[in-house]
Amino acid sequence: MPFEDNSDQPHARVTLQMLYEKQLESQKLLIELTTKMSSLEGIVARVGQLEIKQAKFEWIEKVAYASLTAAIGAIVFAIMNMGGIQ
């Protein structure tokens, strides 16, 4: 019994053309992936620039809130002095 027919095993015929098509498909996917990865290279630098820009604007926000608080305090103080409340 050198050759046994195992009917419970699926039979598949693979041709060179099928292998070639799969190889082409894999190469196309690899090219697409490489293209996408190369566009991601600049993201690290852009994120760094964004963080620096946010840090620059953060101090402006702090100064604005401090100025607003000081202005409200001055207005309250002026109103208290005008009304004679001390």
Kindly state the DSSP code that residue 6 receives in the 8-state scheme.
-
Kindly state the DSSP code that residue 40 receives in the 8-state scheme.
T
Domain edges within the chain: 16-83
pLDDT tens track, the chain, 86 positions: 455 666 676 778 888 988 999 999 999 999 999 888 887 878 888 888 999 888 888 888 888 999 999 999 999 999 888 876 65
Kindly state the DSSP code that residue 73 receives in the 8-state scheme.
H
Return the SS3 of 17.
helix
- Please state the pTM of the whole predicted model: 0.40
Terminal CA-CA length for the chain? 114
